[in-house]
Amino acid sequence: MATPNSSADPASMAAARSSSKTAPPTPLRDGFHLVPSHPINYDLNLTNTFQDITYHISTSDHCARIAFNRPHVLHAFRPTTINEIRHALDQAQDDTRVSVILLTSNIVPERTPAFCAGGDQTVRSSDGGYDDGSEAVPRLRVLDLQIQMRRCPKPIVAVVRGYAIGGGHILHMCADLTLAGEDAVFGQVGPRMGSVDAGYGSVHLARMVGQKKAREIWFLCRYYSAQEALQMGLINAVFKNDELEGEVGRWVRRMCMLSPTALAVAKAAINADQDGSAGISLMGGHITRLFYMSDEAKEGREAYLEGRAPEFRKIPQSKL
């Protein structure tokens, strides 16, 4: 049985190496059910100067938690919110203690649960963006965040309670995985209030749920339950609200047991299909990063620094 303290979880990985030669095939051999499912303990609070978000790290579970913290507006975002998330995401990406990043919201009992109700309409400017006074020019910074999330080499998991609406809905879509509480509600509202996301909010949605369903979501601006979202492939799993945090722990711990490079390359490959040259560039970056570690690449650098011709053919690993 899994123990609450075993974040390394050798039992679940060992389940894939049973010594039996005659056991019937079963999906349980993936060992996932053995991964501990207790909530993650965040021992570092790095919220620092952030106003609109909180930022925590679990050093035992190698996980960062970035959370919307504007419950009075159902976590609607303003430029400050987006810039803070981008800053925290940068930190998490470069923090070697972090393998998985959660994007979520702080649920408070006195407010309706929400992941994010999209752009804060009180600071929506008539000058082409959102303007809370924190930037010189009104912009749609959330579009930069979407791209940053897709380029981040670490898995990003959206953990959704309550409303994920408009730009908030698109952020969960840009996360690699979405785990939802049973009270989660998903939808686009732009056409109801004079807005549209013609980027990932439309094309990524169509890739996920299909052409007809994506059009329905935008053309009718209906809301969908967590179960409906699961059925249409918009999210990965739904859990009872009080079990969500434990299951998030299980999913995070499982990813932390796996090869980070393999996960980064899988993410880049899945995204490259949709991201054109920018996606291929990211895939290429992974190749170059690994290539730099090889004797062949080091020979090129050393030869240049020593002022001699490189002798690539003498490197035994270069079998091309």
Q: Does 195 bind ligand LTTK3YTO (CB under 6 A)?
A: yes
Residue 250's nearest CA partner among 260, 239, 259, 261 is 239
Q: Does 132 bind ligand LTTK3YTO (CB under 6 A)?
A: no
Stretch that binds ligand LTTK3YTO, among 11-19, 39-47, 60-68, 186-194 (CB under 6 A): 186-194
Q: Does 163 bind ligand LTTK3YTO (CB under 6 A)?
A: yes
Stretch that binds ligand LTTK3YTO, among 84-92, 139-147, 253-261, 282-290 (CB under 6 A): 139-147
Among 122, 125, 274, 318, binds ligand LTTK3YTO (CB under 6 A): 122
Report the C-alpha gap between 59 and 286 in whole angstroms: 25
Q: Which of 118, 155 has the CB closer to ligand LTTK3YTO?
A: 118
Provide the 10 A C-beta neighbour count for residue 288: 10
User: What's the half-sphere exposure (Cβ side, CA atoms, 13 Å) at 51?
Assistant: 8
Stretch that binds ligand LTTK3YTO, among 193-201, 207-215, 231-239, 311-319 (CB under 6 A): 193-201
Q: Which residues contact 92 (CB under 8 A, 6 or more apart)?
A: 55, 57, 64, 66, 98, 101, 154
Q: Which of 117, 175 has the CB closer to ligand LTTK3YTO?
A: 117
Strand-pair category, 156-160 with 100-105: parallel
Q: Does 189 bind ligand LTTK3YTO (CB under 6 A)?
A: yes
Q: Is 282:275 a contact under the CB 8 Å cutoff?
A: yes
Q: Which of 36, 167 has the CB closer to ligand LTTK3YTO?
A: 167
Among 35, 101, 107, 140, binds ligand LTTK3YTO (CB under 6 A): 140
Among 167, 181, 249, 279, binds ligand LTTK3YTO (CB under 6 A): 167
Binding mask 96-115 for ligand LTTK3YTO (x = CB under 6 A): ----------------x---
Residue whose CB is nearest to ligand LTTK3YTO in the complex, by number: 118
**What are the residues facing 64 on neighbouring strands?**
57, 101
Provide the 10 A C-beta neighbour count for residue 22: 4
Q: Which of 7, 202 has the CB closer to ligand LTTK3YTO?
A: 202
The least distance separating ligand LTTK3YTO from the CB of residue 202, rounded to whole angstroms, comes to 10
Query: Judging by beta carbons within 10 Å of its beta carbon (0-12, 13-18, 19+), is residue 267 exposed, middle or buried?
Result: buried
Residue 249's nearest CA partner among 5, 67, 13, 16 is 5
Among 36, 79, 181, 190, binds ligand LTTK3YTO (CB under 6 A): 190
Q: Which of 163, 239 has the CB closer to ligand LTTK3YTO?
A: 163
- Tell me how many residues contact ligand LTTK3YTO (CB under 6 A): 23
> What residues make contact with ligand LTTK3YTO under the rule CB under 6 A?
73-74, 76, 112, 117-122, 140, 142-143, 163, 165-167, 189-190, 193, 195-197
